[in-house]
Structure 1
Amino acid sequence: MPERNHSVLTEFVLTGFPGLHQEYYGLVSALLFFVYLVTMIANVTVIFLIATNRSLHKPMYYIILNLSVCDILFSTATLPKIISRYWFRSGSISFTACFIQMYFVHYLGTVNSYILFQMALDRYLAICHPLRYSRVLTKSNILILSITAWIAAKACPLMMVIRAYPLPYCASNIITHCFCDHIGITVLACTDRAPYSIPAFVFAMVALLGPLAFILFSYCSILIAVYKIANVQGRLKSLSTCSTQLIIISLYFLPRCFVYLASNVGITFSADVRIVIIMLLDVRIGLILLYSLFPAAVNPVIYCFKTHDIKHMLMKRLKKTKIELELKLSP
């Protein structure tokens, strides 16, 4: 059966959180705007600190720099539209803009996955093969890995968009989500979804499980190496250097793997529960985080509190700024 043109639909409508009452729209939009503001300020601060301090020009901090850039781009691609959904009661998004957003959501998600792979590689070499670390993870090698991550991640999301765009969308235009993604769009197509969903699912699992497999291997190896350290203080110090990455990795991978598996193996749940699972997700120190939104804002906070060099540079910068302000205000 030949596929019809998609001209029947000119726009999609993002529902956001389906069960949310209108009286809470202002509160939700303010909260999301605050998250976006914190994300931008926190990640720009991390980028500024790394870019302006030569002592932070090390492989691990170049990886953090890439992650901060990715967090800024992902938040900018998704948050403004959902904020306007509740702030201005404008949930509509044009047909083409929805697919552009879908591309960036999956592209930046893939880049994020590859960057987390680099973080695990950094810790694995630093703890399990310290003598090789300086030879393998040079600045030039990190640059090559970073450029490769940003370029290689383009292919599959682009393929997903090219295959999904011409599908006949002739029924509902309601996307039960906070942004356009492949599952949310293709379920609206008036055709058999399997030829399109299966390759997308395989891509998602490769992009997620490939890096995750190495990450699990690396941290198992790290735990074994740390266990062999006789000095208890040395063990704690080695584990502390990994805790930052483990927190970020948990926030990123665990919920995403569940959502993709649930969507493709027949696990069904209501729209509200799906949104909660997709936007929710890990609890740290009693705070409910949102995996698609909060990690971008939380990651820089984790860097500042768990990474000694960045924390030291941040405090030094704040003290310098305070002294300069006092000098200007003094008579």
Structure 2
Amino acid sequence: MKYTNITTIKDFIITGFPGLSPKYYGPVSALLLLTFTAIVVGNALILTIIVYERTLHKPTYMIFFHLAMTDVIFGFVTLPKIIARYWWNDVISSFGVCFTQMYFVHSLGAIHSLILLIMALDRFVAIWLPFRYPVMITNKTISIACSMCWVVTFIRMLGIVLHALTLPYCNQNVIRHCYCDHMSITRLGCGENVKYVKMVSLGNAMVILLVPLAFIIISYFSIIIAVLKMSHTESRHKVLSTCAPQIFITCLYYVPRCFVYLAHNLGFSFTADARILITMLYSLIPAVVNPLIYCFKTKDIKEALVQRFKNKKASIAICNSN
């Protein structure tokens, strides 16, 4: 087949789950709406608590703040369109909107990965260099580091999106996914450079996933070694209770992605619906679960919530007595 060098399509069609029967559209859209609500409300609560509770103005909670921000924005970027697809059968996404969604999907994933790296380094310094921690890890240094993650990633990812835009799109326009991502879009490209564009994107994805993961594994492995060397049980418990939420959040993000990557390279194949479902689960479940981890597994946030609740009950009681 001879391809032209001119993009002829004006929009994309979002299929969602290709094999889903129309009778399940209502329940699926309701489930996605519930997920969207949980992501927004849960993470907005964390953002509000960290902003207004002065006792939480510490480096660790500033990292949590940035993680919650990525989760909220990711929910707004991905879910409204797929909810509309199943609720109102709104399957059309314009060319520009689809590429914009792709840009934010991959940018937010990369930012989340880098902030998890900062979180691991924060715990590494706290455990191995406790006397240097107040000097090395401050609100200012964490703010600068997290801000750089956002700025550098947005600039770098712009190059990936513009590279995909160099391809002509002239034959197919059906996106077999719940949102526009690089793989779904570029497989619709035509011309001789499609393979090269995909290889560049794959290399970028592997670097942004595996390099932070390598440092994260080394950091937490070092922390575990430090814990095993501690003689006092109380000290061990304190360190583990501090690090456990961060390790769990990191595992939620990386383990499913690594599983999918290994399964693909070991020859395991998934149906289109199974592949999309797995992608949606590992993309959205951490954003839903993270606020629960912050609230119930992080001592300072839990205490702040309990104190706010007690103060509110006290003020209500005073008002009722008057």
TM-score scaled to structure 1, two decimals? 0.91
1:9 corresponds to which letter in structure 2? I
- CA distance in 1 between counterparts of 2:233 and 2:263 reads 42
Larger mean CA deviation between 215-224 and 138-147 belongs to 138-147
Check whether the contact 2:4–2:170 (CA below 8 A) recurs between aligned residues. no
2:188 partner SS: coil
For 1:169, the equivalent position in structure 2 comes to 169
RMSD in angstroms over aligned alpha carbons? Answer: 1.9
Q: Is this contact kept in 2: 1:201–1:260, CA < 8 A?
A: no
Matches within 5 A, 1:280-299: 290-299=281-290
Q: Secondary structure at the residue paired with 2:12? A: strand
The corresponding residue for 2:305 is: 314
Question: Which moved further from structure 2: 53-62 or 318-327?
Answer: 318-327
Q: Residues 92, 2 of structure 1: CA spacing in aligned structure 2 closer, same or farther, 3 A cutoff?
A: closer
Question: What aligned pairs does 1:153-168 form with structure 2 within 5 A after superposition?
Answer: 153-168=153-168
8 Å CA contact 2:3–2:190 kept in 1: the answer is no
Paired with 1:50 and 1:299, the residues of 2 have a C-alpha distance of 14
Residue matched to 2:222: 221
Which amino acid in the other structure matches residue 217 of structure 1?
I
Q: Which moved more, 1:260-269 or 1:83-92?
A: 260-269
Residue in structure 1 matched with residue 96 of structure 2 by the alignment: 96
1:256-295 equivalence runs, <5 A: 256-259=257-260, 268-279=269-280, 290-295=281-286
Which structure 2 residues correspond to residues 106-255 of structure 1 after superposition, within 5 A? Answer: 106-192=106-192, 193-255=194-256
Counterpart-to-counterpart distance in 1, 2:25 and 2:319: 43
Q: Following TM superposition, by how much is the alpha carbon of 1:40 offset from its aligned partner in structure 2, in angstroms?
A: 1.2
Which stretches in structure 2 are left out of the alignment for 5+ residues?
Answer: none
Residues in 1 aligned to 2:263 and 2:239: alpha-carbon distance in whole angstroms: 36
Change (3 A) 1:150 1:265: farther
Query: Which amino acid in structure 1 is aligned with residue 306 of structure 2?
Result: M
Matched position secondary structure for 2:13: strand
How far residue 240 of structure 1 moved from its aligned partner, in angstroms, is 1.7
Question: What letter matches 1:220 in structure 2?
Answer: F
1:275 CA drift (Å): 1.0
- How far the C-alpha of 1:10 sits from its partner, in A, is 1.2
Tell me which amino acid in the other structure corresponds to 2:110.
Answer: T
CA distance in 2, matches of 1:31, 1:156: 34
2-side partners of 1:163 and 1:267: how far apart?
A: 30
- SS of aligned partner of 1:19: coil
Number of residue-to-residue matches in the alignment: 320
Asked whether the 8 Å contact 1:82–1:178 carries over to 2, the reply is: yes
When normalised by structure 2's length, the TM-score is 0.93
Cα deviation, 1:125-153, whole Å, max 9, x if unaligned, reads: 11122111111101111111011111111
Once the 2 structures are TM-superposed, how far is the Cα of residue 320 of structure 1 from its aligned partner? 2.2
Structure 1: distance between partners of 2:267 and 2:180: 21
C-alpha spacing 1:307/1:116, structure 2 compared with 1 (3 Å)? same
Shift of the alpha carbon at 1:261?
6.1
CA distances 1:254-297 after superposition (whole Å, capped 9, x unpaired) = 22244456668976432122112212xxxxxxxxxx22112112
Name 1:51's counterpart in structure 2. Answer: 51
In structure 1, the partner of 2:35 is 35
The reply to whether residue 300 of structure 1 matches residue 301 of structure 2 is: no
